[in-house]
Amino acid sequence: MALTINSNLSALQGQNQLSQTQKTKEKLLAQLSAGKTTDNAANNPANAAISEALLAQINGSNQAINNANDGVSLAQTADGALNQIQDNTQQIQELAIQAGNGALSASNRQALQQQVDQLTQANSAIVQSTEFNGTPLLNSNNPTTFQVGPNGSADNQVNVPGINLAAAPASGGLNSYNANLNATGTIDISTQAGALAAQQSTAADLNTLASTRSTLGAVSNRFEASINDLQTASLNASAANSRISDTDFASASAQLAANQILGQAGLATQAQANISARSALSLLG
């Protein structure tokens, strides 16, 4: 190789190698500080795109889990109210059976009627007041739809059917409901004949309540199944994203140490390359 001054090829090659080593060190330090290899999309565009898609799926699944939990809470709120109405209706039925006893006087039945009135008024108040976040639960035919998946398709939705216990009994409402919360005689057991009719009315109400609670139970089970599925999907997507984007600290630290050594060696080589050019001066001595 010719001995030159203006073009020190060894120094130029050393500078290029030192620059590459420095860039690699900066990349590794960025990965170690961020904990991610995809913090800069330029490092690995394909992995960055895959990671973003996985993150969207993870975030969507996690939010869908929250939605499904809200659905469970709504169903539990409605079921709790129905359970109280059911208890009240069973008491009404017991009082109606008691009122059917021929040994009772009119005043006895009137006392029983007052108890029934209190219970029907309580049932009516529960029907009118039960709601979840402002949504009426027991006096509306409108279903409530919950998104329980990361995608906006119909198979990612669960519908809680509308419950309208304020409707006419023939349409799924209760005989023990009255829009007037102070109404009396909604269920009439003041006579022996009325007590017999009341037993039939309360039996119909109990069947309606049992069917409604069964429907809510099935919906709750569907929400729970969706939550379990979403949790599994979120976990698997998180594991996949970790393999793609998370920094392997052991490997990155080893690479960083190697590049630090290379950088020091490059600096020493650069110094030697600069010194070698000075040997040209000896020829002029």
Q: Which residue has the tokens 């009122």?
A: 99
* Alpha-carbon distances, residue 54 vs 2, 45, 68, 269 (angstroms): 57, 14, 21, 45
Would you place residue 248 in the very low, low, confident or very high pLDDT band (cuts 50, 70, 90)? Answer: low
Instruction: Please check the confidence at residue 255 and state whether its pLDDT lies above 90.
Output: no
Give CA angle at 191 (190, 192), nearest 5°: 135
Identify which has the larger pLDDT, 202 or 11.
202
At residue 77, the pLDDT reads 96
* Alpha-carbon distances, residue 274 vs 2, 15, 152, 277 (angstroms): 15, 11, 66, 6
Q: What is the pTM of this model?
A: 0.74
Would you place residue 240 in the very low, low, confident or very high pLDDT band (cuts 50, 70, 90)? Answer: confident
At residue 206, the pLDDT reads 97
High-pLDDT (> 90) share of the chain, %: 56
238: CB partners within 8 A, 6+ apart: 54, 58
Nearest residue to 141 via CA among 120, 123, 160: 160
At residue 48, the pLDDT reads 74
Would you place residue 4 in the very low, low, confident or very high pLDDT band (cuts 50, 70, 90)? Answer: low
At residue 165, the pLDDT reads 96
At residue 284, the pLDDT reads 63
Would you place residue 279 in the very low, low, confident or very high pLDDT band (cuts 50, 70, 90)? Answer: low
At residue 149, the pLDDT reads 85
| Residue pLDDT, tens place only, 120-172 | 999 999 999 999 999 999 999 999 999 998 877 777 899 999 999 999 999 99
